[in-house]
Structure 1
């Protein structure tokens, strides 16, 4: 135990699936060497402690723009990279923002990293027993969700905020082995960061399509997603024609531009693509690409403090939005609305943990929400959140839908 932070040298259980964001060159040959864990309330700066751990394992966290085409070594093992996870609460701590309601998955660390080497043929872990999923229990009713939307609209009317993302939580009891269900989630269509990350007695699976931050070939990149419609031709036309969705989207793009511009060591920030419509499962979503060149040394700690928690799942201004989120959401965001991905020797690639689930020893947890503006219709926002979580819950239940 170091300053309330656990650093474990061991061989944890084999992975339940490929870690999110892991390079295809790894070919699922991941063997965990050691891990790092930080829980909210532990002493120390989580961004710095994480960086210290990764640097000690030979990964280039002090200068993310550096490239290296050879794996570095630690002891007798060859390090291929590390899986990283940062919760929404940890992101709020890093940003100096208000932390929300208590997490419904307290056994999962708020910051988690696993250093991997390659192994010829990793075993696949099974928790044992057939998967049985119970009924869902929601953190708020449809009426309560709609009332929260109205509260945000009132705050916008007062000038407290411009936009706030509201997120609801649901959980269901389960028995048996969650591995196959988690892998079904990770395999959903459009999952850029599809994968599974597991610790002692817990696991998360993500089907996230959204890049929180990527550093590759001398550039830092973010790809915010904001704006959703059903994946039909009519839905696509409606999304492209919606002034509300475009205004909401552009507001978040401006926020992301500001986040990158505040990062020391970056050059001019550019919007490389604006409001491109892409598909995730049975939904169209609008995505933009914002990037900047790295002109000087940029470290992981500064980068995390600049971009976490993600603007598309908080709002604008970010710190004011975090205050409204903490005041209105009845359940903590847990593993959702954070970051998960991969740090290699030549790149960093973190996805935003939307479309993400967690399992602990007794329950499976999901989250979904959307951005609220002055023009938001409360019932439409409630329906949008339900549409986002539906493919995830169908995959957990083993149902086949048009979303797959």
Structure 2
């Protein structure tokens, strides 16, 4: 199958993320409207294959933007499950704020929005330094050395872009 290129861990992470998003959306959507039209799809992008699932729902009429953001941030793809405990653990263990990394980037206009989780994204602060964040999904079945290797692989692609020496690194996301 097309998903055989991904490890069992990758598939489990994606299903966990879908479950978290379904739960997040159920808070702000019409009862019974949350659906998963695509589960474990594969998209090919320059330098990587990306495992993709789509989750959708019909917002309740009274929902406003801040309620949407309150319900969906931080994204399950960069927090984990159970979400509240994972976010508490991240706050305790990470020594530096993530900044824009893992937040939302996009646009909101006239009641519509197109947003993405800010991964593989550069930003610059007042000090003029170019920054990015990177990481790997840690699960019960994780191997620390493999997770570190995944983190380095993701970072190497960004470093090559920033240095102007683009390398052809293949990564799974």
| TM bucket normalised to smaller | 0.7 to 0.9
Report SS of the residue matched to 2:100.
Answer: coil
Pair 1:370-2:136 in alignment: yes
Gaps of 5+ in 1: 1-234
Pair 1:395-2:161 in alignment: yes
Match of 1:269 in 2: 34
In the alignment of these two chains, the number of paired residues is 168
Residue 295 of structure 1: how far off its partner (Å): 4.4
Indicate the RMSD between aligned Cα atoms, in angstroms.
2.1
Pair 1:304-2:88 in alignment: no
Residue 331 of structure 1: how far off its partner (Å): 2.1
Q: Larger relative contact order (C-alpha < 8 A, sep ≥ 6)?
A: 1
Question: Is the strand fraction higher in 1 or 2?
Answer: 1
Q: Residue 107 of structure 2: which of 342, 348, 357 is its match? A: 342
Gaps of 5+ in 2: none
Q: Residue 22 of structure 2: which of 241, 247, 257 is its match? A: 257
In structure 1, C-alpha distance between the alignment counterparts of 2:140 and 2:72, rounded to whole Å: 25
Match of 1:314 in 2: 79
In structure 2, C-alpha distance between the alignment counterparts of 1:319 and 1:376, rounded to whole Å: 21
Q: Which is higher, the Rg of structure 1 or of structure 2? A: 1
Match of 1:381 in 2: 147
Structure 1 consecutive aligned stretches of length 4 or more whose deviation exceeds 4 Å = 264-267
- Partners of 2:39 and 2:52 within 8 A in 1: yes
TM-score by length of 1: 0.39
Question: Is the helix fraction higher in 1 or 2?
Answer: 2
In structure 1, C-alpha distance between the alignment counterparts of 2:55 and 2:92, rounded to whole Å: 30
Q: Residue 351 of structure 1: which of 116, 121, 130 is its match? A: 116
In structure 2, C-alpha distance between the alignment counterparts of 1:401 and 1:259, rounded to whole Å: 37
- 1:40-63 per-residue CA deviation (whole Å, 9 max, x = no partner) reads xxxxxxxxxxxxxxxxxxxxxxxx
- 1:15-53 per-residue CA deviation (whole Å, 9 max, x = no partner) reads xxxxxxxxxxxxxxxxxxxxxxxxxxxxxxxxxxxxxxx
